Amino acid sequence: MYYVKLPYMDDRVSVFDVCQAHAQLESDFNQDGIVIERPSNRRRWASTGCQLSRMRYEPGGRWVQICSDDQDDPGDNDVRDIYLINVIRWGLPMDKALHVTVQKRFTKEFLDMLGYRSMN
């Protein structure tokens, strides 16, 4: 298995978890097939799905419940964290459940560093 070091993450994470988080971001936030908020997608005008396809990534039946309690499947925590960090960094819209999950998973100092704005 291959691992990478990502900004904002303490430990190295599986490239499969990175791909899964991005596949779910595209599914949840795409506009006309592209997550335009992602700067590299705008620059290349290529969807995340297109990039994942070039990498031959196929999630199979895997789908991570982002707002689930991490006790349900702690093996999916990296996918959750990558997903949530990118939602904050790219300024994607969040519903109440995402806000609650973000506030449970991360410290106030970390959220301040990312520029997170709560619903309040």
> CA nearest 33: which of 44, 43, 45, 21?
45
Q: Is the dihedral of CA 8, 14, 15, 21 positive or negative?
A: negative
More confident residue, 12 or 32: 12
Q: How confident is the model at residue 35 (pLDDT cuts 50, 70, 90)?
A: low
What pTM does this model have? Answer: 0.83
Distance CA 41, CA 98 (A): 23
Strands (E), the chain: 3-4, 13-14
pLDDT tier for residue 109 given thresholds of 50, 70 and 90: very high
Average pLDDT over residues 5-30: 88
